[in-house]
Amino acid sequence: MALYEGIALIQEKQAVVLDLGTDYTKFGFTGEAAPRCIVRSEFWCPASRRYRRVHDYASADELYDNLVHMLHLLYFRHVLVNPKERKVLVVESLLTPTLFRETLAKVLFTHYEVSGVIWADSGRLCALTLGTPVALVVSIGAKEAEVCAVVHSCVVLHALQSQPLGARAVHAELARLLDEHAGAPLNLPDHVIEDIKVKTCFVSPRSRALQWASDTPPAPARSVRVGRVEVPGAARELCAEPLFARDAELASLPDAVLACVAACPRDVRRALAANVLLAGGGAALRGLRARLAAELRHLVTQPPYDSSLHINEFKFHNAPAHENTCAWVGGAVLGAGEAGAARALPREHYAREPRLRDWVCLLDNTPPQHPHRDHWDM
Amino acid sequence: MAYLTQPDYVKYICSCGQLKPITSLYFCRHCLKIRCGFCICHEVDSHYCANCLENMPSSEARLKKNRCSSCFDCPSCFHTLSTRATMAQPRQVLQDPAAAGDAKVESKQPKKMYYLSCFNCRWTSRDVGIPDQPVASGGWPERTNPHAARVNQLLDYYKAIALQEKQEKIERERKKFNIRGKYITLTDKTGLTGAMARNIAGLPSSESSSSAIASFVPSQASAEVEELPDDIFTKEVNLNQITSMPQRLASPEWQPVSVARLHPLAKLLSVKRSQRCRACDHNLTKPEYNPGSIKFKIELLAYYHVPEIKIISHEPVKPGATSALLLKLSNPTGHEMTLRLLRPEDVPPHDDRDEPKSIEKSLERSLNLDKDTTSFKPIERVPVYSATSHVTPPDVTLTLAQRDDAAEYDDDAQHDTNDIIMWRKSNKLALRLEVVTDETAEGGSPAVAKLALQYSYRNTVPPAAAASQPRDHTLYTTVILDLGTVSSN
């Protein structure tokens, strides 16, 4: 270990990986197999005397303050390192609002004076934990479920699907079912709902869900008493049903997966279906994977997919991480190698031109030969 | 005025535009400006365990993942675990009493064994089957992350790929360069590079990297997915056996689902922080190294340098009316201070007047030019507040004596009182002022008054080589006074 220390002195400081989720923040060092801390994305605000969530903001200034406080907490209470002159790998969704990205960059570069930031999207990072050339990443976060096809480390952008079917949708349904059972609005706080979900709820298999929808519902699972709240068996079983509820818009989770596959080039569709990875904290619900598999196998034989998709099997991967840290571990793997470090946006660069590359920005996605390039003096 | 549990009635405007009570402000003696936690640079100074108050060098802390090796937290309620001792009779082997004659006599002595126990929730390390330890501290079994091996494989694999990428790039560049080069080597002439030769011969191009790539097995997907257990619909749920979310997330590596898999959590270290001014890089605070000490080596708090204002009392604030306000000013410095009250509008803008400074300074600045630090200035904001009232500043210059701890004992107040100065006692001074409130102020809205302060400050920093700098400075600060709510007539 003495040798390691000697090298560490010469070498660059170990970078940190930051995954600022809506509910939980994952933070730790590159090259490690798990984050150092998973904490709620909130901080104590002494002025208003309550916890404030990082993602609750009305203006850029407010978000700036939130991020400064949150990162201070992470750096000095949990991970205990100097942020200065240290690289950061930021795990973000491809659909992160521009305001959030730009403000986070401003906080990291000007407030914490980090030496470089690597911006990495969670879809590719999840695929990185598998090592397979093709992966279909279904990541269920707090707010949204995103389906992202990663083919040879490239995201098929036009096939990207996103639906508001995250953990919040499950929480809302669970709260509704509990209220219905109690006969009065219980107004349970979010953490109690989460606690009930984590301890008692599961996703019932497809056959049972069909029975529930029919006229003869099955005998519900045992009911549980959590604190003062009586959780009926039906609520335990059916709280995740909104993820699979289909309507004319085909906006359920399995529909999103199939729509993503259908939008991909013809020759990778089978490979994608054979390499599905479920990631994100919302995917940790018991039975969710089995239910999704059953739904996918059933739906692919139904219109409108039976005419366009000829997929006979869906296969699922087990990532070398818990569901909620999957993207983080991908970030830790990427940030440890030289390849990741070379892709960092250095501080000097940001000083010259304080903007970030973004896949939706025409400045970044116009091909070099495109005639518009000449007009823009790029 | 700052209280522990009450709102801050008097707030100072920091040089970065934040409003803070004086107790959470710093004063940089080199820039002569008020700084706050938002516009200074925090640094990790030293690591220590908050439970055993043991210092840990930062390199050791890094190796131990910032965790104390002897203190543990309860995985169930996060209280600190205590080590308990029991007398344990060592297990006897009774099959062969004759052979084990001597050994038995020795092992008959009861041995002290230790286990961890939580005094708050009664969780013990025996609950989860951790064997008792023969030593009081340390020696607890360490668990390894079940995914660590696979993640290491991935790391090696991607490192090898990066290396290969780099080598190929170098190869390509060398080829380009060699074609233009003057001298043609044999390998170039035949179009044969070392790597290509190895490639043709079917040898691995470079030993370590390609072997890592070749031996890497991508993750295997399976069509079978884990179904729910059959008894899930009929089994009684025992909530005491299932962990809660905070319990799971406290150990991110394992995230145990069942209570039986909870393990003691090694206590996370704490850090002492030192603080630095961003503008001049001087330390504002620096703690003492000893974890037991709460003193500072350097402690440039605004509380010791900036005159403190306290509200004694005030008349209710009415729209369009004038009400009396009693303030107490005190001089915390060791030098006499002259004070003037101003309107905030009359404060000269502190537009970093570039007085001709010493040659060294300008040289330093020219050296720093190429570093291009302009865009990294900490964010400065226009302070956000709405002052409905303002204090009418009296046109007098007040003098405050220096702080003298011995003066506490003599109680004859100097009686140079007039209609503004109510009383005066050593370094303190009470003022009677008038607050004028706008006509437009609505009843029930918060009454906020603002006031600017001009004060003289003697800089006691040992001057640099060129001692021509003035030691006495005139500084300004603006305070926001919270006068309750505007009363509706």
The crossing angle, in degrees rounded to 10, of helices A206-213 and A288-299 is 80
Predicted local confidence at residue B365, as pLDDT: 55
Long-range contacts of B403-406, Cβ-Cβ distance < 8 Å, separation of 24 or more: B403/B330, B403/B331, B403/B332, B403/B333, B403/B334, B403/B427
Asked if B159 lies within 8 A of A338 by C-beta distance, the reply is yes
Predicted local confidence at residue A377, as pLDDT: 54
Helices (H) and strands (E) in chain B, counts: 8, 22
**Does the residue B356 lie in any domain?**
yes
CATH 3.30.420.40 residue window(s) in chain A: 13-126+325-376, 132-164+250-320
Report which of A268, A272, A246 is spatially closest to residue A147, judged by C-alpha positions.
A272
Task: Give the tens place of pLDDT for each residue, B211-248.
Answer: 888 888 888 999 888 888 888 888 888 999 999 999 99
Asked if B223 lies within 8 A of A315 by C-beta distance, the reply is yes
Gap between the Cα atoms of B389 and B449, Å rounded: 5
Predicted local confidence at residue B306, as pLDDT: 92
**Does the residue B465 lie in any domain?**
yes
The total number of structural domains that make up chain B? 1
Contacts of A111 in chain B (CB under 8 A): 378-379
Q: Is B281 on the interface with A (CB under 8 A)?
A: no
pLDDT of A12 strictly over 60: yes
pLDDT of B160 strictly over 60: yes
CATH topology classification for A167-243? Actin; Chain A, domain 4 (3.90.640)
Predicted local confidence at residue B424, as pLDDT: 84
Contacts of A289 in chain B (CB under 8 A): 225-226
Q: What is the mean pLDDT of residues B363-387?
A: 60
Query: Is the Cβ–Cβ distance between A363 and A378 less than 8 Å?
Result: yes
Distances (CA, A) of A317 to A287, B42, B201: 15, 43, 37
Distances (CA, A) of B461 to A67, A280, B27, B275: 36, 55, 13, 18
In which band, very low, low, confident or very high, does the pLDDT at A5 lie, cut at 50, 70 and 90? Answer: very low
CATH 3.90.640 residue window(s) in chain A: 167-243
Predicted local confidence at residue B349, as pLDDT: 74
Query: Is the Cβ–Cβ distance between A138 and A281 less than 8 Å?
Result: no
Asked if B155 lies within 8 A of A333 by C-beta distance, the reply is yes
**Does the residue B112 lie in any domain?**
no
Predicted local confidence at residue B355, as pLDDT: 46
| Higher-confidence position of B460 and B389 | B389
Report which of B484, B411, B475, B420 is spatially closest to residue B449, judged by C-alpha positions.
B484
**Does the residue B93 lie in any domain?**
no
Q: What is the ipTM of this complex?
A: 0.90
pLDDT of A239 strictly over 90: yes
Q: What is the C-alpha radius of gyration for chain B, rounded to an integer number of angstroms?
A: 36
Predicted local confidence at residue B1, as pLDDT: 45
pLDDT of B372 strictly over 50: no
Q: Is B66 on the interface with A (CB under 8 A)?
A: yes
In which band, very low, low, confident or very high, does the pLDDT at B92 lie, cut at 50, 70 and 90? Answer: low
Predicted local confidence at residue B244, as pLDDT: 94
Task: Give the tens place of pLDDT for each residue, B448-471.
Answer: 888 999 999 888 776 655 555 667
Chain A residue with Cα closest to B244: A195
DSSP B370: G
Q: What is the mean pLDDT of residues A126-134?
A: 93
Predicted local confidence at residue B371, as pLDDT: 47
Asked if A221 lies within 8 A of B216 by C-beta distance, the reply is no
Tokens of A311: 């997929």
| Higher-confidence position of B179 and B438 | B438
Predicted local confidence at residue B403, as pLDDT: 83
Q: Which of B61, B162, B219 has its CB closest to that of A338? A: B162
Predicted local confidence at residue B188, as pLDDT: 53
Contacts of B235 in chain A (CB under 8 A): 222
Report which of B48, B291, B68, B270 is spatially closest to residue A80, judged by C-alpha positions.
B270
Q: What is the dihedral of CA B113, B117, B122, B123, to 10 degrees?
A: -100
Predicted local confidence at residue B185, as pLDDT: 54
In which band, very low, low, confident or very high, does the pLDDT at B370 lie, cut at 50, 70 and 90? Answer: very low
Phi, psi (degrees; rounded to nearest 5) at A271: -65, -40
Asked if B145 lies within 8 A of A34 by C-beta distance, the reply is yes
**Does the residue B360 lie in any domain?**
yes
Predicted local confidence at residue B226, as pLDDT: 86
CATH 3.30.420.40 given to domain A13-126+325-376: yes
Distances (CA, A) of B161 to A337, A339, A370, B158, B214: 9, 9, 32, 5, 11
Q: What is the mean pLDDT of residues B308-313?
A: 90
Tokens of A206: 């497809």
Gap between the Cα atoms of B258 and B247, Å rounded: 10
Asked if B232 lies within 8 A of A202 by C-beta distance, the reply is yes
Contacts of B376 in chain A (CB under 8 A): 109-110, 113, 347, 351
Q: H or E stretch including B33?
A: strand B33-36
Which residue range forms the structural domain that includes residue B330? 307-485
Instruction: Please state the pTM of the whole predicted model.
Output: 0.88
Q: Give the residue from A42, A80, A316 with the most B CB atoms within 10 Å of its CB, the best one to mutate.
A: A80
Task: Give the tens place of pLDDT for each residue, B334-343.
Answer: 888 899 998 8
Give DSSP secondary structure letters for A305-373: HHHH-------B---SS-GGGHHHHHHHHHHHSHHHHHT-EEHHHHHHS-----TT-HHHHS-TT-THH
| Higher-confidence position of B253 and B141 | B253
Closest-CA distance, A34 to chain B, in angstroms, reads: 5
| Higher-confidence position of A183 and B389 | A183
pLDDT of A249 strictly over 60: yes
Q: Could you give the percent of chain A with pLDDT greater than 90?
A: 75
CA–centroid distance for A130 within its chain? 16
Closest-CA distance, B449 to chain A, in angstroms, reads: 19
**Does the residue B2 lie in any domain?**
no
Chain B residue with Cα closest to A72: B42
Query: Is the Cβ–Cβ distance between A160 and A147 less than 8 Å?
Result: yes
Predicted local confidence at residue B374, as pLDDT: 47
Mean pLDDT of chain B: 81
Q: H or E stretch including A137?
A: strand A134-140
pLDDT of B369 strictly over 90: no
Query: Is the Cβ–Cβ distance between B19 and B387 less than 8 Å?
Result: no
Tokens of B401: 């004596």
Contacts of A322 in chain B (CB under 8 A): 252, 255
Closest-CA distance, A63 to chain B, in angstroms, reads: 13
Closest-CA distance, A36 to chain B, in angstroms, reads: 7
Q: What is the mean pLDDT of residues A274-285?
A: 94
Task: Give the tens place of pLDDT for each residue, B53-85.
Answer: 999 998 899 888 999 988 999 999 999 999 999
Phi, psi (degrees; rounded to nearest 5) at A209: -60, -35
Task: Give the tens place of pLDDT for each residue, A293-349.
Answer: 999 999 999 888 999 899 989 999 999 999 999 999 999 999 988 777 788 899 989
Predicted local confidence at residue A320, as pLDDT: 93
**Does the residue B136 lie in any domain?**
no
Report which of B475, B480, B428 is spatially closest to residue B451, judged by C-alpha positions.
B480
Predicted local confidence at residue B356, as pLDDT: 44
Hey, which residues does A226 pair with through a beta bridge? A229
Q: Is B359 on the interface with A (CB under 8 A)?
A: no
As assigned by CATH, the class of the A132-164+250-320 domain is alpha beta
Q: What is the dihedral of CA B215, B219, B223, B227, to 10 degrees?
A: 130
Mean pLDDT of chain A: 90
DSSP B191: T
Asked if B151 lies within 8 A of A321 by C-beta distance, the reply is yes
Gap between the Cα atoms of A122 and B307, Å rounded: 52
